Amino acid sequence: MFRKQISNEYDLVEPRAPAMLESLRAFGYNIQTAIADLIDNSISAGAKNVWLTFQWDGSESYISIRDDGKGMTEAELINAMRPGSRSPLEQREPNDLGRFGLGLKTASLSQCRRLTVCTKAVNQSPVTRRWDLDYVNQTGEWRLLRSAASGSEKRLASLDQLESGTVVLWEGMDRVVGETKTDNPKDRDRFLEMIEYVEKHLGMVFHRFLERKNKLKIWINKRLIEPWDPFLTKEKATQFLPEENLYIRGDQVVVQPYVLPHHSKVDQQTYEKAAGPNGWNAQQGFYIYRNERMLVAGDWLGLGLQRDEYCKLARIQVDLPNSMDSDWSIDVKKSRARPPSSLRTDLKRIARLTRSKAGDIYRHRGKVIARQSSESYVFPWLKKVKHSKVFYSINPEHPLVIEALNVPQEHRKVIQALLRLIEETVPVQQIWVDSAENSDLQSQPFEGVPSQEVKEVMMEVYNALIKNGLSSKEARRRLITMEPFQHFEELVASLGE
């Protein structure tokens, strides 16, 4: 009986155990996202190593995930095995990767019918609990078993080698291997191919943990997983566009756009690896991270932008705190995120700028290159934040500004006052309104302007660079890194002739 009257005011309606546990299997996990969800728990437990074992045996195949984290006491394990062990409304620690209190159960049961967890805290004996869906269906009760299935104890024995840690064991993997046969080579090959998918996915999702100095190590069948950096940050030809900080109720979202190198600027192996698990076109767009754990790997987030070939080098890193889970509609699987309406305009603006610069690289075969060091992009305007307020200032390091102020003191004060007046009267609100209402009608720098007029402005900057001691070649190369002259490569090339 699942409905019990205990009061004249209300009924206590408990969920039926078989129906609820079977329903928990339908959250939409695949094998990659399910295992990633379990590794989140290992990271939150302070693990330095996570060992994945994939054992092929047809329909009797199993997977185990072992870590050397802090482990759990018996009471903690029972609570961890409880569906909804924590409310999503609870405030989490800043580095906590969880949210719904469902991950261990939903991720595991989405792939298997028998979930066994054995754990050991420091100076404690190992404790074990098991959900067996077939047993729950037979009894109709929420019976959490206190031991591993007969014959499965040896699959948990590796925990004895650790001072503390946890082993999660998946058996009865109907969603993974079904009724496959041990001696069927095609079934075995599909199982091995699945391992490759998991390896690539984990190397991508946890790449920032795998790249740290005191890095996390994830092993699959004793093979160490290598991180996949989607932004090629160690390549000299990668463009680091200006980082921006966006805010919701005082919480900060950090946005770092990148334009990856043209394939002519990197070796073939690096270029092929940079394509990612899903290929170049599919991996363009925003990469959403929550506490450095990747949630979304290349998506334009419903901002009305298409996956275009010429934009395939555009990738944008977005870092969120876990306090924004609701704002970004983070789901249980932690594989989806949607930006709040208050940030959509800024994100679309950043996306368009990044796509434009990626298009330059694509069209010019890598000739337009911004360096990470002294030759990084030079913008006339700088965005700054003070007391959580955003304002814009003219870049005092811009060569033309430096040259303009290289005049006698009485004239310099007038120019400084003019620049300050311009800074203080930027019509930011009107620009926002116009952009929101007619985003496709905003003109680009020097759009429709005769080339001679562009060249006249360009020449003044060029001459300022020459006065500062640069050679003609160096001055032209420097101009290519300046907004908006990177769009006028042929005019830059003609200077000094």
39: domain CATH number is 3.30.565.10
Q: Are residues 120 and 154 in the same domain?
A: yes
pLDDT, average across residues 65-74: 97
Q: Return the minimum-mean-pLDDT range out of 180-194, 326-340, 434-448.
A: 434-448
Which token pair is 469? 């001691």
Residue 2 reports pLDDT greater than 60: no
Q: Return the minimum-mean-pLDDT range out of 25-29, 60-64, 172-176, 290-294.
A: 25-29
Q: Are residues 203 and 66 in the same domain?
A: yes
Supply the pLDDT for residue 89.
42
359: domain CATH number is 3.30.230
Supply the pLDDT for residue 429.
77
Rounded to two decimals, what is the model's pTM? Answer: 0.70
Q: Are residues 147 and 284 in the same domain?
A: no
Residue where one domain finishes, among candidates 363, 391, 419:
363
Q: Return the minimum-mean-pLDDT range out of 42-56, 238-252, 257-271, 387-401.
A: 387-401
Q: Are residues 310 and 432 in the same domain?
A: no
| Domain contains 4 | no
pLDDT, average across residues 394-420: 86
Q: Are residues 397 and 465 in the same domain?
A: no
Supply the pLDDT for residue 54.
98
The model's confidence at residue 85, banded by pLDDT at 50, 70 and 90, is: low
**8-state DSSP, 154:** G
The model's confidence at residue 466, banded by pLDDT at 50, 70 and 90, is: confident
d(CA 284, CA 194): 24
The model's confidence at residue 371, banded by pLDDT at 50, 70 and 90, is: very low
Residue 151: how many other CB atoms lie within 10 Å:
8
d(CA 373, CA 368): 15
Contact 10, 75 (CB under 8 A): no
Residue 49: how many other CB atoms lie within 10 Å:
16
Contact 293, 94 (CB under 8 A): no
Residue 92 reports pLDDT greater than 70: no
Closest CA relative to residue 110, chosen from 54, 58, 180, 34: 34
Closest CA relative to residue 375, chosen from 175, 239, 197, 223: 239
Q: Are residues 39 and 157 in the same domain?
A: yes
Q: Parallel, antiparallel, or unpaired for β 285-290 and 239-240? A: unpaired
* Residues 6+ positions from 99 with CB-CB distance below 8 Å: 88, 92, 322, 325, 330, 332, 334
Beta bridge partners of 411: none
Q: Are residues 461 and 398 in the same domain?
A: no
Q: Are residues 219 and 244 in the same domain?
A: no
Q: Is 214 exposed, middle or buried (0-12, 13-18, 19+ CB in 10 A)?
A: exposed
Closest CA relative to residue 60, chosen from 112, 116, 118: 112
The CA dihedral of 464, 470, 474, 478, to the nearest 10 degrees, is -40
Supply the pLDDT for residue 5.
52
Q: Are residues 24 and 149 in the same domain?
A: yes
* Bigger pLDDT: 129 vs 405: 129
**8-state DSSP, 426:** -
Residue where one domain finishes, among candidates 396, 426, 442:
442
d(CA 298, CA 287): 5
The model's confidence at residue 62, banded by pLDDT at 50, 70 and 90, is: very high
Mean model confidence pLDDT for the chain: 87
Each residue's pLDDT tens digit, 108-125: 999 999 999 999 999 999
Residue 26 reports pLDDT greater than 50: yes
Which token pair is 166? 């946890």
Specify the amino acid at residue 46.
G
Residue 212 reports pLDDT greater than 50: yes
Which token pair is 116? 């066994």
Residue 205 reports pLDDT greater than 90: yes
Each residue's pLDDT tens digit, 266-316: 999 999 999 998 899 999 999 999 999 999 999 999 999 999 888 999 999
Residue 190 reports pLDDT greater than 90: yes
Supply the pLDDT for residue 423.
86
d(CA 77, CA 120): 10
Specify the amino acid at residue 320.
L
Beta bridge partners of 13: 3
Residue found by looking up tokens 């419903």 in the block: 302
Q: How open is the CA angle 149-152-154, to the nearest 5 degrees? A: 145
Supply the pLDDT for residue 411.
83
Residue 90 belongs to what domain range? 14-224
pLDDT, average across residues 253-278: 92
Residue 462 reports pLDDT greater than 80: yes
Residue 383 reports pLDDT greater than 90: no
If DSSP codes are grouped into helix, strand and coil, which group holds residue 295?
Answer: strand
* Bigger pLDDT: 197 vs 477: 197
The model's confidence at residue 232, banded by pLDDT at 50, 70 and 90, is: very high
If DSSP codes are grouped into helix, strand and coil, which group holds residue 144?
Answer: coil
Q: What is the CA radius of gyration of the chain?
A: 28
DSSP string, 71-121: ---HHHHHHHTSTT-S-TTSPPPTT----SS-HHHHHHHTT-SEEEEEEE-
* Residues 6+ positions from 439 with CB-CB distance below 8 Å: 348
Determine the straight-line distance between the first and last CA of the chain, rounded to whole angstroms.
Answer: 91
Q: Among residues of the chain, what percentage have pLDDT more than 90? A: 55
Peptide bond into 277 cis (omega under 30): no
Residue found by looking up tokens 């009267």 in the block: 425
Closest CA relative to residue 258, chosen from 272, 269, 273, 274: 274
Q: Return the minimum-mean-pLDDT range out of 180-189, 224-233, 246-255.
A: 246-255
Residue 55: how many other CB atoms lie within 10 Å:
12
Residue found by looking up tokens 């298409």 in the block: 306
Which token pair is 34? 């399910």
Q: Are residues 202 and 160 in the same domain?
A: yes
| Domain contains 49 | yes
Each residue's pLDDT tens digit, 138-165: 999 999 999 999 999 999 999 999 999 9
Q: State how many domains the chain has.
A: 4
